[in-house]
Amino acid sequence: MSAVRVTEGSVKVESCKAPLFYRQSEPVSGEVRAMVLLLHGIRFSSENWLNIGTLDALAKAGCRAVAIDLPGLGQSKSAEAPAAVGELAPAGFLKEVCEQLSLSPVVVISPSLSGSYSLPFVLQHQALVRAYVPIAPICTEKFSAAQYQSVKVPALIVYGDLDTQLGELSLSNLKNLANHSVVVMEGAGHPCYLDDPDTWHKALINFLNTL
C-alpha cells in the first residue's frame, strides 16, 4: 500500500473571528488525483474521519483530503459560525475555505448538519466543485427541483436504509440533481459511514474512480 501522510493545521476564514482546525491526509508520493473536503454533522468533527479511516483511504486512493472542524464545533469551538444551526450559510464561506486551502476543483463530502454549508456552495459555485457526496444532509428542502437540475457536477447520494427521516427526505430533493447516483447502505442509520466504514469507503472510492 502507498504511504500516507496525515497532518494537522488551522485555516483563517475572515467571517469566523478565529481559525478553523483541520486534519489533512495526502499520498507521500505520486500525483494527487483529486482534492477532497470532508465536512461533518453536529455531534461530530474531523476526528471521526480520522478514526474510521476515511482520511487514510482517500490518501491511499491518491487524493489529498482535508477534514475541517466546522465553526463552533470540534477544535473550532472559538470560531463563529456564519449562520445559525439549520440556516443556510453564505456560499462564500466554503469558497473561502477552499481558496485558503488550495482545494480546487474540490470533491465535497457533506453529511447531515453540513448540508447548510455545502448546498449553497455547490449550487452557486459549480465551477469550483468537481463532485458532490451528500450523506443525508439537512436543508435540502430549501431549494427547488429546478435549482438542483441546474447542477451538472457528478453527485453520489449516500444514506442508510434505517435513516427513514433525513435519509429519505434528502433523497426526495437531491434526486433532482442532474448527474447523480445513489448508494443505500443496508442496516445503517443516519451516520451510515460510521455504522459501516468498509462499505462507505468502497462506494466512495468507486465513485471517485469514475471522475
Q: What letter does residue 16 receive in the DSSP assignment? A: G
| Strands of 52-91, DSSP E | 63-68
Q: Which candidate in 170, 190, 195, 196 is catalytic?
A: 190
Q: Is 40 a catalytic residue?
A: no
**Bridge partners of residue 188, in order along the sequence:** none
Q: How far apart are CA 2 and CA 73, in angstroms?
A: 32
Q: Is 102 a catalytic residue?
A: no
Amino acid sitting at position 55: L
| Strands of 49-177, DSSP E | 63-68, 106-111, 129-135, 155-160
Rounded (10°) CA dihedral 102, 106, 112, 116: 70
Q: Which candidate in 69, 163, 195, 196 is catalytic?
A: 163
- For residue 39, what is its C-alpha cell? 465536512
Asked if residue 48 lies in contact with residue 194, where contact means CB atoms within 8 angstroms, the answer is: yes
Q: Is 114 a catalytic residue?
A: no
Q: Distances from the Cα of 197 to the Cαs of 10, 13, 121, 160, 207, in angstroms?
A: 26, 31, 26, 12, 15
Q: Which candidate in 76, 110, 112, 118 is catalytic?
A: 112
Give the active site residues. Answer: 112, 163, 190
